[in-house]
Each structure stands twice: as structure tokens, then as C-alpha cells.
Amino acid sequence: MTMLVAKNIILGITGGIAAYKTVDLARKLVQAGASVQCVLTESAAQFVSPLALQAVTGLAVRSALFDTDAEAAMGHIELARWADILLIAPATANTLAKLAHGLADDLLATLALATKAELVIAPAMNGDMWRHPATQTNLALLQQRGARLIEPASGSLACGEVDVGRMQEPQDIVNALAQSQPEPILAGKRVLITAGPTFEDIDPVRFIGNRSSGKMGYALAQAARDMGAEVVLISGPTALPDPQGINTIRVRSALQMLQVVQSHFTGTDFMVAAAAVADYRVERIASNKLKKQGDGGLTLNLVQNQDIVAWAAEQPNRGKVIAFAAETDDVLANAQAKLVRKGVDAVLANSVANGAAFEQDMNHLWLITPQQQQDLGIATKQHLAFVIWQMLSGQRS
Ligand code: PMT
């Protein structure tokens, strides 16, 4: 977390329910070594107490553009110049629209126009507002101008729906900031990631699937993008939105995933197979919904799917190929065996016993190569993704 030591951060808080998390966020930023000046919009003050923010940052909260006392202590232009990072969390759809179009009708929007600091936005809103073309266009405009996005997560929202639109957790925002402007160690590299589950259809309404959410693979894809790579993400069915700036190709079955990998593999510098691919598929998919037959059971004939990552490892003149190993027991021994059997350069091993790894925001990974077994520790999938890329590209040992 040393990257935030001595950083000056303006924490801009706008009017969404996620604003209640910003006391914790501000506290964590201070603990990571940053000086934090909170700036609240008028509506944010309905959701979070300025006094609580002042207590954790040690600095009086700023809200009004024309506050003569505050301006006398540090004028808003001076404040804009003081900042290394302008973090807006939560950022509402309204704020994104204002920033995209250069409005300066309150202190926060004025600071955003006046500062040369890195703009980092952590949006939070209803899923439909997030997907709306107006919001996505505003976001794309801000990103074109260099703003950094901490994408909203999926989960239950204040409106009662389960959808994308939750502000990332404070610790993930702090981790993302600490990784802010990561070294472009993957610049010029082509990266291919598989992520999520595969669904093997049984009939028009049923399938064999698994619990992969795609979070691990998407985190790897986003970290690679942030480190300068050109990224192709081949994703099984997930609830996650397509990440910005990544060529995301959606597939359903293992066969489809294999075909898309094969057509995008040439010229790939790194392939990381984070997808939980079905080892078997149903031999014949029924064209009509299967009916219950008397009182007896049902036998499905399964045939083996081709191993996608093993196919990649067999290709001549290939880049590095990295598999995952999801194990419930003997994690390291089984992962070591997969390294040899699949002919890959490295395996990222995780335990999936007792509900670990699948669907979780955190993971515990080991990196296994022919030379070593290294415990990468327990951390958010985002943080692990950055560590993995640093290790794979030889920037960290
Ligand atoms: O998606 P999340 O909810 O974030 O969960 C993350 C995860 C647990 C899915 C991820 O960390 C993980 O372990 N992914 C690999 C899951 C898996 O299927 O592991 P496996 O041990 O069964 O397969 C080993 C490797 O072979 C994997 O890289 C897999 O992508 C690959 N494989 C397997 C079968 C197949 N037909 N083709 C493949 O390429």
C-alpha cells in the first residue's frame, strides 16, 4: 500500500446511498498513507455525516463553492492544484454527465475542471441507469480524456434489485488506487483470457453448468488492460458487464469456447485459462424438452470435451500459456500434476473446498511453475490479478 504514502487525495462524494461507505473509505485511504480532503455535493450530505468524515481525515469537509472561510484557508484553485488524485466515490449518473460535459455548478465539478490530478471514478447507481447509452457515452468520453474507472460490482442494490451498479467495496477502491497508473509492463502485448463457466445444454431448457462467476478471469483481463495489454476476453455466461476497453466475446459451451480461442490464439503473448470449462458435454442435445419417464431415473450419455488450454500449449511458436487448477483436496500436488499433463508454463492453483474461490471477491492462489511453488496469499481477485501479471512478466519474483 506504500504507493499512497504522501499522496494528496480529494475524495469527492456525490449523492447516492453508497456514500455511507465513504467514512470507511476515507479511513482506509488515510491508513494507506494518504492525506484526504473530502468534498461533498449538496445531496451527498443527506447520506453521510461531514463530522464523521472530518473525524477520520482530520480535515474539515468542503462543500460550498462560495464559502469565504474555507476559501481563505485554501482556495478552490489551490485545492485543485494540491491534489494528486481526484477520486469520486460514489459517482452518480448525474455527476458523470456533469463531468463529461464540463459543467462547473458546484465545488466538486469545479475542482474536476480545474485540477490536473488523475481523475478516478467509482460509479454507483441502478443497473438500468448504468447501462443507459447516455451514461455509457459519458463514461467513454471521460475515459478517452484519461479518467480511470473503478467499475461497479454486481449485487443487491438500494432499489431492491440484484444487478450491476454497486460501488466497489472501500478496500477494493483503495487497492485499485494503490495500483493506480500501474507500470505499462504489458504494453504491446496481446493477452487472451478465458473466464466464467461453460453451459452444456441437455435440452432447450436445461444445462450442466458450474458456480464460476467470472470474477477471477475478468479481474485478470482488467489488470492486463490497465497494464497496457491488448486484451481478448472469452467469457462463458456470467452476470458481469463487458469491461471497458476489452474485446469481450461471449460463448456458452466448451465447444464454442474452444472455437473462439482457436480463432484468436495466433500472436497471443499470454493466454490465461481462468474459465471453469466442463470436462464433459451431453452427447446428443435433445431438440425438445425431455419429459419425465415413469418412476425410473434418467441416463445422460456424456462425451469428453477437448482440453482448451492443453490445445493452446501444443501450438508451435506460442506465447506463455497458463492454466488454473481448482481443487478440493491435495491442491498443490494435483496442480503440479496438471502443469505436466496439460503441458503449460504455469498453473495458478486455488482451493475450491468449503465454498472458497468460486463466486467470492477474495481468493487464495499459488503460482506453480516447473521451477517453483509460490504462495501468492489471500487477497481480492483484483489485487491478485496485478500480482500475477507482475510475476508472469518477470517484474516481480
Ligand atoms: O469465476 P470465479 O467465480 O471468480 O471463480 C474463479 C475460479 C475458481 C473459477 C478460478 O479461480 C479457477 O480456478 N478456474 C479454473 C476452474 C477449473 O475448471 O479448473 P480445472 O482444474 O477443472 O481445470 C484446469 C484448467 O484446464 C483450467 O485452466 C481450465 O480453464 C482448463 N480447461 C479445463 C477443461 C477443458 N475442457 N478445457 C480447459 O481449458
Atom of ligand 1 nearest to the CA of 334: 21
**Among 179, 212, 239, residue at a domain's last position:** 179
Give me the count of residues in the chain. 397
Q: What's the whole-number mean pLDDT along residues 148-167?
A: 86
- Distances in whole angstroms, Cα of residue 272 to Cα of each of 194, 255, 371, 381, 391: 7, 18, 19, 14, 13
Q: Output the CA 123–ligand 1 centroid distance in Å.
A: 30
- Distances in whole angstroms, Cα of residue 179 to Cα of each of 48, 120, 223, 309, 377: 27, 12, 9, 29, 17
Grouping H, G, I as helix, E, B as strand and the rest as coil, residue 80 is helix
What is the C-alpha separation between 267 and 277, in angstroms, rounded? 23
- Indicate if 63 and 110 belong to the same structural domain: yes
The secondary structure of residue 197, as a DSSP letter, is B
Residues with CB under 6 A from ligand 1: 194, 196, 212-216, 254, 273-277, 279, 305, 307-309, 323-326, 338, 350, 352, 357-359
List all residues 6 or more positions away from 146 whose beta carbon is below 8 Å from its beta carbon.
118, 119
Output the domain CATH number for residue 348: 3.40.50.10300
What is the C-alpha separation between 224 and 220, in angstroms, rounded? 6
What is the C-alpha separation between 187 and 228, in angstroms, rounded? 4
> Given pLDDT bands bounded at 50, 70 and 90, which one contains residue 73?
low
- Indicate if 167 and 272 belong to the same structural domain: no
Q: What's the whole-number mean pLDDT along residues 391-397?
A: 87
- Indicate if 246 and 349 belong to the same structural domain: yes
Q: Residue 358 domain-assigned?
A: yes
Q: Report the pLDDT value the prediction gives residue 43, as an integer from 0 to 100.
A: 94
Query: How many structural domains compose the chain?
Result: 2
Q: Count Cα neighbours of 158 within 13 Å in the Cβ-side half-sphere.
A: 12
> Given pLDDT bands bounded at 50, 70 and 90, which one contains residue 381?
confident
User: Please, are residues 277 and 308 in contact by the beta-carbon 8 Å criterion?
Assistant: yes
Residue 90: cis peptide before it, omega within 30 degrees of 0: yes
H or E stretch at 334:
helix 331-342
Q: Output the CA 210–ligand 1 centroid distance in Å.
A: 10
Q: Residue 397 domain-assigned?
A: no
Q: What's the whole-number mean pLDDT along residues 340-348?
A: 98
Q: What's the whole-number mean pLDDT along residues 326-345?
A: 98
Lowest mean pLDDT among 139-148, 211-220, 241-250, 361-370: 139-148
Q: Which residues are catalytic?
A: 159
Q: Residue 30 domain-assigned?
A: yes
Question: Quick one: CA dihedral 309, 310, 311, 314, positive or negative?
Answer: positive
What is the C-alpha separation between 385 and 387, in angstroms, rounded? 5
Q: Which amino acid is at 2?
A: T
Residue 6 has pLDDT above 80, yes or no: no
- Indicate if 296 and 367 belong to the same structural domain: yes
Residue 2 has pLDDT above 50, yes or no: no
Q: What's the whole-number mean pLDDT along residues 371-382?
A: 86
Percent of the residues in the chain that have a pLDDT greater than 90, as a whole number: 74
Residue 227 has pLDDT above 80, yes or no: yes
What is the C-alpha separation between 324 and 333, in angstroms, rounded? 13
For residue 14, the enclosing domain spans: 2-179
- Indicate if 142 and 214 belong to the same structural domain: no
Atom of ligand 1 nearest to the CA of 308: 39
Q: What's the whole-number mean pLDDT along residues 198-212?
A: 98
- From atom 18 of ligand 1, which residue's Cα is the shortest distance away? 276
**Among 179, 204, 219, residue at a domain's last position:** 179
What is the C-alpha separation between 190 and 170, in angstroms, rounded? 31
What is the C-alpha separation between 253 and 276, in angstroms, rounded? 11
Residue 379 has pLDDT above 80, yes or no: no
Q: Output the CA 359–ligand 1 centroid distance in Å.
A: 13
- Indicate if 254 and 209 belong to the same structural domain: yes
Q: Output the CA 343–ligand 1 centroid distance in Å.
A: 15
Q: Residue 257 domain-assigned?
A: yes
Q: Scanning the structure block, which residue is given the C-alpha cell 435440452?
A: 203
114-123, 161-170, 346-355, 375-384: range with highest mean pLDDT: 346-355
Q: Residue 184 domain-assigned?
A: no
Q: Output the CA 129–ligand 1 centroid distance in Å.
A: 33
- From atom 36 of ligand 1, which residue's Cα is the shortest distance away? 307
- Indicate if 199 and 174 belong to the same structural domain: no
Q: Output the CA 217–ligand 1 centroid distance in Å.
A: 10
Residue 34 has pLDDT above 90, yes or no: no
Atom of ligand 1 nearest to the CA of 195: 1
Q: Output the CA 74–ligand 1 centroid distance in Å.
A: 53
Cβ atoms within 10 Å, residue 227: 23
Mutate to test the pocket of ligand 1, among 212, 279, 361, 380 (most ligand atoms within 8 A of CB): 212
Residue 1 has pLDDT above 50, yes or no: no
Grouping H, G, I as helix, E, B as strand and the rest as coil, residue 54 is helix
The secondary structure of residue 87, as a DSSP letter, is E
Q: Residue 185 domain-assigned?
A: no
What is the C-alpha separation between 392 and 268, in angstroms, rounded? 14
Average pLDDT, the chain: 92
Q: Report the pLDDT value the prediction gives residue 3, as an integer from 0 to 100.
A: 63
What is the torsion angle, in degrees rounded to the nearest 10, for the CA atoms of residue 56, residue 150, residue 380 and residue 156?
A: 90
* Nearest Cα residue to 36 out of 27, 44, 45: 27
C-alpha cell at 203: 435440452
Of 36 and 155, the one with more pLDDT: 36
- Indicate if 172 and 212 belong to the same structural domain: no
Atom of ligand 1 nearest to the CA of 323: 28
Q: Which amino acid is at 319?
A: G
The secondary structure of residue 2, as a DSSP letter, is G
* Nearest Cα residue to 130 out of 11, 241, 18: 241
- Indicate if 321 and 263 belong to the same structural domain: yes
Of 241 and 195, the one with more pLDDT: 195
List all residues 6 or more positions away from 56 whose beta carbon is below 8 Å from its beta carbon.
23, 26, 27, 30
Q: What's the whole-number mean pLDDT along residues 13-25?
A: 96
- Indicate if 202 and 170 belong to the same structural domain: no
Mutate to test the pocket of ligand 1, among 200, 277, 364 (most ligand atoms within 8 A of CB): 277
Mutate to test the pocket of ligand 1, among 281, 309, 331, 342 (most ligand atoms within 8 A of CB): 309
Atom of ligand 1 nearest to the CA of 365: 11
Residue-wise pLDDT tens digits, 78-93: 899 999 899 999 999 9
User: Please, are residues 70 and 54 in contact by the beta-carbon 8 Å criterion?
Assistant: no
Q: What's the whole-number mean pLDDT along residues 223-232?
A: 93
Output the domain CATH number for residue 93: 3.40.50.1950
Atom of ligand 1 nearest to the CA of 305: 36
Q: What's the whole-number mean pLDDT along residues 174-188?
A: 83
**Among 111, 145, 179, residue at a domain's last position:** 179
Q: Output the CA 186–ligand 1 centroid distance in Å.
A: 23
List all residues 6 or more positions away from 76 whose beta carbon is below 8 Å from its beta carbon.
65, 107, 110, 111, 114
Longest Cα–Cα distance in the chain:
84
Q: Residue 124 domain-assigned?
A: yes
Cβ atoms within 10 Å, residue 203: 14
Q: Residue 262 domain-assigned?
A: yes
Q: Which amino acid is at 205?
A: V
- Indicate if 172 and 195 belong to the same structural domain: no
Lowest mean pLDDT among 26-30, 108-112, 183-187, 305-309: 183-187
Lowest mean pLDDT among 1-5, 18-22, 143-147: 1-5
Cβ atoms within 10 Å, residue 177: 27
- Indicate if 168 and 282 belong to the same structural domain: no
- From atom 23 of ligand 1, which residue's Cα is the shortest distance away? 325
